[in-house]
Structure 1
Amino acid sequence: MSTFISYLRKALAFSIFVAAMSTLPIGAIAPEYRIAYLVADQLSLGGKPPQQEPLVVPKAAPVKDNPAASMPEMPKLVVASAGTAVQPAATTTPAPTAVGGPTLTHVVTSGETLSGIANKYKLTVAQLSALNGITNLDMIRPGQKLLLAAEPPLPVSHTVRNGENLSYIAAKYGVTVSAIIQSNDLPDINRLKIGQVLNIPSASTGALASRSAVSSAGYIWPLTGSISSFFGELRGASRHSGLDIAAPTGKDIKAARAGRVDSAGWMGGYGYAVIIDHGEGYKTLYAHASKLLAKAGDRVVQGQVIARVGSTGNSTGPHVHLEVRMNSKFMDPLKYLPRR
């Protein structure tokens, strides 16, 4: 009898313990086990655990010359709450941009071609090669920096001297009298003061305008002016070896094409002159200058000011004598320059 009573006491105590445990908030105490309980319940009922969509990780692109540059960024994993599918974070590839601004220079990367780079920036291959003095279109290398446009020149101003008027100043800089008047808000155009400083508005865009007119051969006009003597004209027993372009003394003379300055200085009948070597046997000469701004060995870009107009040497007035030479043979410059 005592054994039976002891058994009843133990059974009663166990029932009370079980009843007490069932009233405790187990889920609140250990929420991390909630999903495990649900899975266990489904398994005990013969069900299957919930399926989660597999995470798809894109394959990395094949590694080329530079593994660090060619390896794509792996998607970032997002930690989600229970019942939410895990998705990779969206990634974006930045669009290629030119170094130093949208249209100034471009750094060549592996696999790029000159034609592809030209198309990207809406240039012709001739323009791009001329801007950078490239003679072999297949010889560009990764890391090479290509010039895409002229760097913006500094604003130009002019200090009025004794005897100068607006017509003279406008002709000197290749601009109109009205442009100077509008830029300086002049009250009386007939009364300029000696020492007065004038802004020359169009002069700052002159280099860019000359660069935009590039011929199919890759040349630009060295300056604007009227042609006073053509190539091949008879001069006594010889023919004229170049093209004469009349312009006011002191006007900028620009490189018709990029290259290396072969020589610069006094050259007898040519007066002060500059010769630029463009490679592949091509050279250009700019003669009768009043001042030289480039020296032998300099690398110049197309449109860079290399000298100023003068009338030195065998000359009858201010102009630039332009020659184009191919393997020391004189060529007609008009066949290389853009049509006006």
Structure 2
Amino acid sequence: MDNEDKSNPFSCNLIKKVSIKRRFILTVILTILFAVVSYIGIDKSAFSNMEGYSLNHFAYGVEQGRFDGYLKNLSDKNLRIDRPTAIVIDGLNAVTLKNREDASLVLNDILDKYKNGFMKVYFKNDVKLVGVDSPAVKIETVEEALKNLEGDDAETYTVKDHDTLWSISRKFGITLDDIYKLNPTVTATIFKGQILKVKEPKPVLTVVSEKKVVYMDDIPHETVYQKDGDMLINTSKVVADGEDGVKIVTAVLKYCNGQISEEDVINEDVLKEPVSEIVSVGTKPISATVALDYPIRGHIVITSRYGQRWGRLHAGIDIAASINDPIYAADGGTVVFAGWENGYGNLVEIDHGNGYVTYYGHANKLLVKKGDKVYKGEKIALVGMTGNTTGPHVHFEVRKNGVPVNPMTYLK
């Protein structure tokens, strides 16, 4: 019996040895297969805290107009729908939401507020959606994320007694221009209880919106100056009126968070060319003595001369004329007075330089005002009977350094 056991290859001991060997091999094979399957099936993003995809080329009017449409092109293997997703703005993690869908919804909600009426709406910032694996990250709701990204509410101030725009600007460290920009309808007069914006919310994201506009605009005319040797130096007159032109402008207006930031002109079509204004500028030097024209045209009738009259000096000459006849400047110069003067009635005084000033009294109507530059022969008033007078005429005086002199010496 013992001999048979030793010679039989199928003895129990041999079978046991083979079984142990097979079990070992099978265990090794199963271990290898398990490792291979685990490697293939593992989400490799778990080895990294964040993997992101840039959305900075997204814009309404360029793509379909939705972030979720854009994100369909992303690999779910790398950015799972149910994976916490961060909105990264200019390299900084701004907010984290529970999944990609919520993150996309937040961005779309922000863009939608600026979409109406615009051909393009997009973020100026570099915006990315990034998968997050860290369990320590705070997950925000859509409402919380929107509040954080859109900034705090505008800060307001209720006007109190004795407040002024200046005192309010000092209180909040802003300028008067800031107050007017924040409150477009406000005026310099404010009242108790009035509510003013003193701080604009500062959103984290900058939304750029673009729209094309077509409008008519003026083309400003130029002014051309030409020298005139017959006019006194420092005097001028318009010899041809200018006229603005008209053009049709096609432009793209860009807004940042609803505030216009720039205008890019695409095309201009000129409908009407501008016409230049022509102005003559006097170059004639003012001489020590002046040659004056009579202030009245036509036949000259002097009804009262320069000199003593009724026991006192008559400081000028009186020239007869009809009511509302034109009164002309005897020479070019600057109007230094135009108004009512006792005795003279309506009076014009013109300074011709070198101490010479001419007076034109009793006018019915004045056609110039103080500061006007007038040229020789320019109409300055109309004949009347204002002041102390017995009939329509012009009282004409010449004064040298403030002292009346005989006008006949200078009239030609």
Bin the TM-score by the shorter chain: 0.3 to 0.5
More helix by share: 1
By relative contact order (CA 8 Å, sep 6+), the higher-ranking structure is 1
With the length of structure 2 as denominator, give the TM-score of the two structures: 0.32
With the length of structure 1 as denominator, give the TM-score of the two structures: 0.38
